[in-house]
Structure 1
Amino acid sequence: MDTIKFKQEFTIMCTVTFKAITEKSKGDSTKYNELVDEINRNNFHDASGTKKLRLWIMTFSRATSLLDESCSALVNAILKLDWTGHDNNLVVIYVMFLANLISSHSDYMPKVLGMLVNHFVFRVDKNGTIPLNLENIHGRVHYALKNIFPMVPSGAEELFGILSRGFPHKSESLPAQVTYLKNLLQLLEYIPCLQSQILELIFDRIIELDTEVQGKIEEIEDIEDASTKYELSLHSDQGSLSSCASSVYSKSRFNSPTDSYDGDFDYGSEEDALDIEDSTPSIVALDIGEMIEKLDCMIKLVFDYLKWFFDKGTKNERDDLFDILLTIFEENILYTFKSRYIQFIIFWYVSMDKSYPRQFLSILLNKILSDKEPDIIREAASQYIGSFVGRANYLSSTEIRLCIQALLLWTERYIESYEPTLQLPDPLKHMTFYSIVQSLMYIFCFRWKDLREVTGGIPRWCYEVVGYHKIVNSSFRPLQVCSRNTSDMFQAIVEALQFMNFEKQYSKRFGIIEQGILNISEYFPFDPFRLKTSQPYIEPIYRDWAGMPDKNQVAMEELDFKVIK
């Protein structure tokens, strides 16, 4: 009996719908407007309403061929329905309607994709609480995208544009950033063709936050210590999206939502219906502590995605992802002035395969040693290579020595070319040289144990480091020009290890440096990573400063080593 009644109601609704659309095409919009008003009222929240809504969606699926541009008001009303809050049967029927609609009228694709992506935006209800079914809502949206996207071959660029415009502005709350980014990364799991574009978008947004943090660099360590560690993971089997969002929302410093959710979405005027607006709020003062926590959680989610992809991907897929990350590094990160955190994503992924460190080092060396590169890029690359070799725990002694050998060879040739005409050190003219030498000193401070070997029972320093003596004691006087902290530490370690004999150096640093006109930057990109939520990814592969060589140990072990003179 119920089945018969259901079929009868379905037949009636089909008749009403077809008649309304047909009469509209002939100039009489009365019944069509009544139909639009019926759907716009959205009175489908109880059991009987769900049944009625199911019938309407089935009816509209039957009529999709008629829903051309002239019926956009009706289509907009259908797309504004709260379909994610109903049972699975209705969700399946609704997604089938979306698929039929796009197949019949591809012009609706932007509105359909915009409606779906808009569900990724963080919202709370009128009471300021997160919906308990948030995970189900997002899961159903992913189900819809996964089924609809293959039907629209030209939809990749359209979808990316919508995703890009919907990305929360850096001033938006921590829960807003986490919710959207988490959905964006989960989308990549079934739409991998957007991997390169979306990762570049994500890195760009993280870089925006990273550069904001640098404005108060002297306060950062204290703020990092006071930051919150969040229980956050990308995949629901490790912690549901609802619980993750709730954790972030309840603990975040500013948990006032930018939008609220009451079971219905307001998409604005009909002309703008279902299009995500460009997120460009007015400039506001940003709290450094909140930004650090945003960076921490966002980087953690990116780590989770990269780990998931690496574990499930083929060797070719992992290598392709590495190429994407290297491109992002070369074109974005390397050009970012004194970023503090974003580069650690690259640092981690390089550790995942034995072949990756040499590829990364090769890129840096090529930029450093190429006369065709701008000086600012050569100097940035030298900062990166010094910090990377000093801090990456996964580098082999062979890789460290080959890197040092290449840098020393270049600096020795540079000295041979320019020292004969050098009267006084000229840091402005030879900035690239001093940047490279500073990195060499930094590497030695962290890696001196990797620069020793025993040959034929005789302990000695490896031959690759012979060039240190010539460089340090050259007329360029790097100990007086380079960063005082790095120079002093290098000299102290060298003297403790009796690594070389220093020729007499001027104790006073040059006036041009003392006056602050020039400063050889002491920026090392992989200085300690202190973000609490994402730190577990970095801690096992990171080399902390071990301190000065123990004097007793040096007396027992080091004095037998041959000294380079």
Structure 2
Amino acid sequence: MTNKQVGSVNLDSGSDILYYYNKGHPDAVFKYKQICNVLLSVDSWSEKSKNEFFVQFFDSAHRFLQPTELLVERLCNVSWSSIPQPILPQFVILLKEIAVTHVYHTKVIIERFFNVLLPIVDIYVSEVKENENPSDTTPVIIQPSITIEQQILFTNLSREAIVDIIGRLHTAQEAVVEIAFKKFPHYSGPTFKFTEYIKQLILIAESCPDIAQDLWMKIVDHILQIDAIISKSVANNATFDAGDSLFALEEENMTIDSPMRQREIDLTNKLDKTMIIVLSRIAKGKMDLSKIVPGEDFSWLNQLSSVSDSCIFEQLWPAFMEQMLNAHDVQSVSFIWFFACNLEEKYQSFMLKMLWRLICKPVFAPNEWKRAHTAAAFLGGFLARAMYINFKTCTDWLKKMADWCNEYIAKSGLCRNCAGCIQHGTFYAVVQSLLFVFSFRYKEFVENNCIKDIHAWGLSRIVHSHFEPLKYISRVIARGFATISRRLQLVYCCHILDSSVIISSPIEHYLPFSFLQLPITSDVVAPLLRKFQPTDDDADIHVDMMEVDPRKHTVVEQDEDDYGFMDMEDDEVGMDIGQHSNVTTTVAAILSSSPFSIYKARTH
């Protein structure tokens, strides 16, 4: 830029131009507009011209007052690959200083930094290939214009700038969370773009604990969307009925495969890789996942501080309370907290206590009912499925659940017409979890000679109460409990299940940790999951279970001889523990399975 003397005004530098532009000097206004215009063609400049132009602004952040809004916008729009690499850090510092010094520019600059956080996007062009229908399109990938090294440099500079702005300008925290959500890649986009963005958000959350919970909520919100799509696809698969295998044997291969649409395959792969990223962050410093899934890249974890005192469980907790407990029939994301609780015993204790507090909390609105019901389902899921929850802890909680149910029945008095009412949904949810956990771990009760202790729990009173819980909880769970309790001579309740129609239930027949749809994540989580094991005496018992025809809404029993409770030579009946179903479904590893047969019956 040439030196020029305009009257008594010296406009030989960018700083001078901004100074007099803010004062309204006409020559400075003209120069300012010229600068804004030439920035549109910065890509075509020579290296020398770029250096001379940008350097003159590096110490002038204080000059970018509110009237310079257009220039700030143009500077933000400059591609970082167009800026000479030696001066790029100074350019980023300039934008950062402007954002901190002048709050009216803060949001647009933070938005620019988040744009850079996204890896260079592959451009998809619809192209009709030979022997394809015109409606079929195949993505054509155009190679990005920058190198991998440049991409790493850009994302690191951008992330560090965002963290610095948050640290120096606390009022920017809300804007950062808002923009982080706004810039989140859509789930239908490229997998690498989605996963890399999540890594950057995790790194920002690690450096900015004040907004860590908010950022994790944004992450969980987006992966729940993918989980919901995949879970719905599995539930709607006509060849898959998870209710056929509620109790899976330890040695049984529960992987089921069936053709899926390409969209679901892509989403499954995306969710799988995202879950591994989240689990690796949770496991850092406690477990080396690279030994379990050596094919995944964990090098990004080296950017996390090795001396960080942030508690990842605390950061994830609001997402569990606000999003996970209100989610509908999602199967994979819940394993985040299942895995986290395995790392430290205090997490297990905290999780179980908080779930119980939600169950016992009085509810007054439908959304609160939903949360209490789901909390009961999660309590049952943890107690039944988690290998890290020992037998004593399990029995203590089961007794507490049984005592609560008995107290609930006692306080209800002799009220009539209450069976099946949604107001009592929490009671049904607790009973469902109670009976499921007992049935799932009944072998341990037998081995520890605790059957007599169970008689003191009042299960008979619960099952035969005026609430008629066996008619409204999952049919598969009810049938399983009836069969086991008959074998152990605890409660005779098979006759309650002899109903010709399926009754509408006040609760969702949902149990978390039911099956895994993610092949890579299953390598990490499967060893933590308990599978059903019958006692040695019952190992050869074939199942006495019902089939639900969702079209007829009728119950068809495979064995009608259910009235031999006191007959010591009764027919061999028991849990359906040896499924020989030929059904197959993609990428799923059924580990115990919620009663999808009932679910499907209710949705038709």
TM-score range, shorter chain: 0.7 to 0.9
Does the CA contact (< 8 Å) of 1:392 and 1:542 recur in 2? yes
State which drifts further: 400-409 or 62-71: 62-71
Residues 1:52 and 2:52 are matched in the alignment: no
Q: Give the letter for the 1:52 counterpart.
A: S
1:509 corresponds to: 498
Shift of 1:205: 2.1
Residues 1:377 and 2:371 are matched in the alignment: yes
User: How do residues 234-383 of structure 1 correspond to structure 2 at under 5 angstroms?
Assistant: 287-308=263-284, 317-318=310-311, 321-372=312-363, 374-383=368-377
Shift of 1:333: 1.6
Q: What is the distance in 1 between the residues matched to 2:465 and 2:120?
A: 64
Q: Which of 432, 438, 447 lines up with 2:441 in the alignment?
A: 447
Residue segments in structure 2 that go unaligned for 5+ positions in a row = 124-140, 241-254, 288-304, 542-567, 569-604
Does the CA contact (< 8 Å) of 1:20 and 1:35 recur in 2? no
Residues 1:115 and 2:112 are matched in the alignment: yes
Q: What is the distance in 2 between the residues matched to 1:18 and 1:475?
A: 83
Q: For residues 387-444 of structure 1, what are the alpha-carbon distances to aligned partners after superposition, in whole Å with 9 as ceiling and x for unaligned?
A: 221111110222101110101112233444557667x992337543333222122102
State which drifts further: 298-307 or 400-409: 298-307
Which of the pair is proportionally richer in helix?
Answer: 1
Q: What is the distance in 1 between the residues matched to 2:219 and 2:397?
A: 31
Does the CA contact (< 8 Å) of 1:57 and 1:97 recur in 2? no
Q: What is the distance in 1 between the residues matched to 2:285 and 2:171?
A: 25
Q: For residues 206-226 of structure 1, what are the alpha-carbon distances to aligned partners after superposition, in whole Å with 9 as ceiling and x for unaligned?
A: 233333444432329979846
TM-score, structure 1 length as denominator?
Answer: 0.73
Cα 1:396–1:473 change in 2 (3 A) is same
Q: Tell me, what secondary structure is at the counterpart of 1:154?
A: helix
Does the CA contact (< 8 Å) of 1:445 and 1:489 recur in 2? yes
1:405 corresponds to: 399
2:236 corresponds to: 218
- In the alignment of these two chains, the number of paired residues is 478
2:511 corresponds to: 524
Cα 1:388–1:41 change in 2 (3 A) is same
Cα 1:421–1:26 change in 2 (3 A) is closer
Q: What is the distance in 2 between the residues matched to 1:69 and 1:325?
A: 39
Q: Give the letter for the 2:284 counterpart.
A: W
Cα 1:410–1:21 change in 2 (3 A) is closer
Q: Which has the higher contact order (CA 8 A, sep 6+)?
A: 2
2:419 corresponds to: 426
Q: Tell me, what secondary structure is at the counterpart of 2:478?
A: helix
Q: What is the distance in 2 between the residues matched to 1:303 and 1:59?
A: 46
State which drifts further: 121-130 or 90-99: 121-130
Cα 1:404–1:33 change in 2 (3 A) is same
Does the CA contact (< 8 Å) of 2:383 and 2:437 recur in 1? yes
2:39 corresponds to: 39
Q: What is the distance in 2 between the residues matched to 1:16 and 1:315?
A: 44
Q: For residues 444-483 of structure 1, what are the alpha-carbon distances to aligned partners after superposition, in whole Å with 9 as ceiling and x for unaligned?
A: 22212333565xxxx4537256326524662555445432
Shift of 1:291: 3.4
Q: Which of 379, 390, 395 lines up with 1:396 in the alignment?
A: 390
Shift of 1:101: 2.7
Q: What is the distance in 1 between the residues matched to 2:355 and 2:403?
A: 15
1:539 corresponds to: 526
Residues 1:94 and 2:88 are matched in the alignment: no
Residues 1:144 and 2:161 are matched in the alignment: yes
TM-score, structure 2 length as denominator?
Answer: 0.69
Q: Tell me, what secondary structure is at the counterpart of 1:427?
A: coil
Q: What is the distance in 2 between the residues matched to 1:552 and 1:302?
A: 40
Shift of 1:375: 4.0
Shift of 1:195: 0.2
Does the CA contact (< 8 Å) of 2:334 and 2:512 recur in 1? yes
User: How do residues 153-192 of structure 1 correspond to structure 2 at under 5 angstroms?
Assistant: 153-192=170-209
2:488 corresponds to: 499
Q: For residues 50-82 of structure 1, what are the alpha-carbon distances to aligned partners after superposition, in whole Å with 9 as ceiling and x for unaligned?
A: 343233222111333333233333332222222
Residues 1:549 and 2:566 are matched in the alignment: no
Does the CA contact (< 8 Å) of 2:96 and 2:109 recur in 1? no
Q: What is the distance in 2 between the residues matched to 1:125 and 1:437?
A: 51
Q: Give the letter for the 1:506 counterpart.
A: H
Does the CA contact (< 8 Å) of 2:472 and 2:504 recur in 1? no
Q: Tell me, what secondary structure is at the counterpart of 1:346?
A: helix
Q: What is the distance in 2 between the residues matched to 1:58 and 1:10?
A: 16
Shift of 1:163: 1.3
Report percent identity of matched pairs: 18
Q: Give the letter for the 1:178 counterpart.
A: T
Q: Give the letter for the 1:129 counterpart.
A: Q
Q: Give the letter for the 2:80 counterpart.
A: W
Does the CA contact (< 8 Å) of 1:57 and 1:93 recur in 2? no
Cα 1:505–1:325 change in 2 (3 A) is same
Does the CA contact (< 8 Å) of 2:335 and 2:513 recur in 1? yes
Q: Give the letter for the 1:360 counterpart.
A: M
Does the CA contact (< 8 Å) of 2:428 and 2:473 recur in 1? yes
Q: Give the letter for the 2:31 counterpart.
A: K
Question: Over aligned residue pairs, what C-alpha RMSD do you find?
Answer: 3.8
2:453 corresponds to: 463
Residues 1:70 and 2:67 are matched in the alignment: yes
Q: What is the distance in 2 between the residues matched to 1:413 and 1:103?
A: 59
Residues 1:201 and 2:218 are matched in the alignment: yes
Q: What is the distance in 1 between the residues matched to 2:421 and 2:122?
A: 59
State which drifts further: 151-160 or 368-377: 368-377
Q: Which of 72, 78, 101 lines up with 1:81 in the alignment?
A: 78
Q: What is the distance in 2 between the residues matched to 1:302 and 1:10?
A: 56
Q: What is the distance in 1 between the residues matched to 2:170 and 2:410?
A: 60
Cα 1:67–1:516 change in 2 (3 A) is same
